[in-house]
Structure 1
Amino acid sequence: MRFRLTPRPQWLCALPVALSALALPGTASATTDPFFEFTDTAALASAAPGTVLKSRTISVYVAGFKTKLKATQLVYRSTDALMRPAANVTTIFTPDCATASCTNKNKVISYQSFYDSLNPEDGPSRAYAGGKRLPDLLPAVETILFGKYVKQGYTVVVSDTEGQKANFAAGPEYGYNTLDSIRAALKAPQVGLSSNAQVVMMGYSGGAIATEWAAELAPSYAPDLTPNLIGAAFGGTLVSPEHNLTYVEGAPIWGGVMPMAIIGVSRSYEIDIKKYLSPRGLEVYDKMQKASIAYVLGMYRNVTWKDLVKPEYQDRTKIKEYVEAVNKVIMGTGGTPAIPLQIGQGTGGVWELTKTSPLWGKGDGVMLAGDVRTLARQYCAQGVPVQHKEWGTSHFTTMALWLPWATDWVDARFAGKAAPQNCSSIAPGNPLTPLAYNP
């Protein structure tokens, strides 16, 4: 089947226009902020992960509007998917102890954003520093999600989880960036955290990628954070991208996520994906080099893997580079979390016009419930306290149900309560067997 770019559903067409008119004053385009650049490769190579390289205080912008909030931004040393030194950026909201109580300052929320994009300019740190573009609305929406904690005087850390190259869907890299942002926040004197500050990680959708990978990588990559990390809550989770590829390809709303993920993972592992692409695939590749989810939803109806690649690569198990990379981003392959987990997932993907997968069963429209159940059961078997819940709703609507459930769980962790678990009642899911190379 050949693919074609079709108009978005009316509600998707209208929403960006309405939001941009209401929330984004002016017509400013992206400009490079030198703060986000770090070119001293020698200093980067010699620095330990989590080292603060630059810092500044900003007035926080929300949807293009300047607020009274102040935040600290840090450029810090992290690690890319190929285990090389990399610079990244995080934004840290802290209470003003001169005007407000600092009782909760050492309770830290590491909030991972769902800003899904292939464009570095779409990182939340850019948005909070004054972004006035449509993708900058996503971090604005998210300030509502974690705003309760800012108001109550908690410290909230929001990193650019995809890194400064925006390697969308490259899970391990998200994890390194998240863990090193916490390290940087704990080390930075201008943030003023105690060395024994308690940290809970949370995120939904793209934010769940970062949260889960940080949880599973922490014991091996950041054992120094063991005294600080006390839990992770996430929902709408991308467990095995190879499975999700067959679930969302051709879907009216979510179909464009498939080529976005292929580009992001290929970029992360430095795979020249272009040599495998058909003329149509190259067209999509060129259009998506700096694509945000805000411009992709509803725009790639009917696009499939077979449309994107040359005839000899229709069976992707014959592409060794693809097989190796996609296996590296299967959750649960990087280690076992040493903290309690709370995992939520929707199953009503038909609400968002995604068909139930004949191979993988129900999902929320973009993420597969069976994959999430298997991951939860795997961690249960390894002794991790897991609370798991499913709703019969779609990806968008499940977030509204997940948030208060997750917030209650997070509050209980800071209160020192025992973490709940329902491991014995989690139903079996899909096998998470790595893809086999078939030359």
Structure 2
Amino acid sequence: MSRTPARLISLAVAAAAALTAVPAATATGATPSAVGGTAATAGAATATASDPFYAYDGDRPLASFAPGAVLKTRTLSYHLVGIPTPLKAIQLLYRTTDAQGRPAANVTTVVRSLTGDGGKAVSYQSFYDSLDPEDGPSRAIAGDLTLGGVIPNAEALFMAPLLAKGYTLVIPDTQGQRADFAAGPEYATNTLDSIRAASGSAATGMNDRTRVGLIGYSGGAIASSWAAALAPSYAPDVNSRLVGFAEGGLLVAPAHNLRYVDGSLVWSGVIPMALIGVSRSYDIDLKQYMNDYGRSVYDRLQDGSIIDALGRFPGLTWKKMAKPAYANPNSVPEFVDAVNRVNLGQAPTPTVPGFIAQGNGGVLEGTFGNPAGIGTGDAVMVAGDVRALARQYCATGNDSIAYREYALLSHTGVPVVWAPLAMDWLDDRFEGRPAPSDCGRIPAGNSLAPERPAPLS
């Protein structure tokens, strides 16, 4: 979701007013517990680039902890645009798993609502979309203000109503401590283990019976959708407590998205961002296939956020970045392997109800492409892919899928309509009302088959 910096700051200021109007959660004390490391002190401390809270420094190997184990805990003031509010946030360093199955440490933030009893929680996945770990929600909440970090500040506008309704909020750093942008499977493990950690910490008021809903837009939808898909196999203990997932602006088959935004006016900058993030996640080197210009763009965005990419590279294409022999991205074996790994259409079907929304008015944001077999979208996400995924879920055993497509709305326009509907939809799931279904009424979409290698040009 794109905003100009000034717009983001104004949204964050409005979010500050919304959050401070919510009753502050009770502080959890000044000596929270830690596993395998020194407990972090509570209070109004802020994170810094060298903040030791983010590093696991215990004596036991990280691999010896179960995924979701809490490694450190601290309580601090919830900050908006660097300013502390009366609201308290509990932050947890926890053990998780990266995209290659290796143990990793990550951070999540829990905000309690005084109007709730801890029996219901919403895991809110942010659309911070950055290749810089300093832009993560936990650091923004702890007081580190970066331009990219203003996005999770502004998202408090979405979170304040949930707190007011009595939900405990769980806000994971979905992209992990390396900021592996667009690497969906890693988003999932970070999200699911965040819920495990929050449920296993006495400081949060949650436990292994707390029911949980997933919600996220754009980058947050990547995390929500992959978490719902992988929960039955990776975290069946969490899946048994999920009431559903609500998402909008969804990335399904990234190879399609890269072709769709190729040459666009605003969103073409996500091409190098996605290449960097997925390459980082799977430890592959795509720079070897790029020309001098491509490498310069790649290097420029190594630590960039979505704010650094949007509108900064109008007309950018893969071909402009690649060496002549690799003008077709499918001639790069590592590219084909990577995009197939993060193709949501190849992931399992979630077993819980879902509400999926997608725009299809991308021309409003300068994306005029209509590639054969891919079609149009909201300027960055492909509508035909999202329809195909929703239909696939219906056809493979999940008939509790609600789908909305907004033909005249672009990526930044859909949240205005989607957010209140998504929250109402989650309310109904927590109340136990039957989940609505649009199965049988969703228009046909694209093929979500894996990409195939192509010969060199």
Task: Spell out the pairing of 1:203-242 with structure 2 (5 A cutoff).
Answer: 203-242=216-255
* Range with bigger deviation, 35-44 or 224-233: 35-44
Q: In structure 2, what is the Cα distance between the partners aligned to 1:136 and 1:123?
A: 6
Distance change in 2, residues 1:180/1:170 (3 Å): same
Instruction: Please give the TM-score of this superposition, normalised by the length of structure 2.
Output: 0.88
Residue of structure 1 equivalent to 2:368: 355
Residue of structure 2 equivalent to 1:321: 334
Letter in structure 1 aligned against 2:50:
T
Q: Is residue 392 of structure 2 the alignment partner of residue 378 of structure 1?
A: yes
Residue of structure 1 equivalent to 2:32: none
Letter in structure 1 aligned against 2:422:
A
Q: For residues 124-181 of structure 1, give each alpha carbon's deviation from its aligned partner in whole angstroms, at most 9, with x where no partner exists.
A: 0000000222222111111110211212331100000000000000010001100000
Report if the CA contact (8 A) 1:81-1:268 is conserved.
yes
Find runs of 4+ consecutive structure 1 residues off by over 6 angstroms: 16-24
Letter in structure 1 aligned against 2:199:
L
Q: In structure 2, what is the Cα distance between the partners aligned to 1:13 and 1:152?
A: 30
Of 377, 387, 402, the residue aligned with 1:387 is: 402
Count, aligned residues: 422
Distance change in 2, residues 1:41/1:425 (3 Å): farther
Cα distance, 1:19 vs. partner?
7.9
Q: Is residue 315 of structure 2 the alignment partner of residue 305 of structure 1?
A: no
Q: Is residue 151 of structure 2 the alignment partner of residue 130 of structure 1?
A: no
Of 304, 316, 330, the residue aligned with 2:343 is: 330
Q: Is residue 444 of structure 2 the alignment partner of residue 433 of structure 1?
A: no
Q: Is residue 215 of structure 2 the alignment partner of residue 202 of structure 1?
A: yes
Cα distance, 1:423 vs. partner?
0.7
Of 419, 430, 449, the residue aligned with 1:403 is: 419
Q: In structure 2, what is the Cα distance between the partners aligned to 1:227 and 1:65?
A: 38
Cα distance, 1:356 vs. partner?
3.7
* Range with bigger deviation, 310-319 or 280-289: 310-319
Report if the CA contact (8 A) 1:30-1:133 is conserved.
no
Q: In structure 1, what is the Cα distance between the partners aligned to 2:173 and 2:12?
A: 23
Residue of structure 1 equivalent to 2:354: 341
Residue of structure 1 equivalent to 2:69: 51
Residue of structure 1 equivalent to 2:436: 420
Residue of structure 2 equivalent to 1:369: 383
Q: Is residue 136 of structure 2 the alignment partner of residue 118 of structure 1?
A: no
Q: For residues 364-417 of structure 1, give each alpha carbon's deviation from its aligned partner in whole angstroms, at most 9, with x where no partner exists.
A: 010010000000000001121100010120000111111011111011001110
Q: In structure 1, what is the Cα distance between the partners aligned to 2:158 and 2:5?
A: 24
Q: Is residue 155 of structure 2 the alignment partner of residue 148 of structure 1?
A: no
Distance change in 2, residues 1:48/1:355 (3 Å): same
Q: In structure 1, what is the Cα distance between the partners aligned to 2:146 and 2:441?
A: 45
Distance change in 2, residues 1:22/1:214 (3 Å): closer
Q: Which runs of 5+ in 2 are unaligned?
A: 17-45
Q: Secondary structure of 2:203's partner?
A: coil
Letter in structure 2 aligned against 1:429:
G
Distance change in 2, residues 1:410/1:291 (3 Å): same
Letter in structure 2 aligned against 1:51:
A
Cα distance, 1:39 vs. partner?
4.4
* Range with bigger deviation, 314-323 or 211-220: 314-323
Q: Secondary structure of 1:239's partner?
A: coil
Residue of structure 1 equivalent to 2:170: 157
Q: In structure 2, what is the Cα distance between the partners aligned to 1:41 and 1:274?
A: 37
Of 283, 304, 311, the residue aligned with 1:291 is: 304
Q: Is residue 99 of structure 2 the alignment partner of residue 81 of structure 1?
A: yes
Q: In structure 1, what is the Cα distance between the partners aligned to 2:454 and 2:94?
A: 41
Distance change in 2, residues 1:127/1:240 (3 Å): same
Letter in structure 2 aligned against 1:389:
R
Distance change in 2, residues 1:210/1:221 (3 Å): same
- RMSD of aligned alpha carbons: 2.2
Distance change in 2, residues 1:347/1:21 (3 Å): closer
Residue of structure 1 equivalent to 2:110: 92
Identity %: 50
Instruction: Please give the TM-score of this superposition, normalised by the length of structure 1.
Output: 0.92
Distance change in 2, residues 1:338/1:16 (3 Å): closer
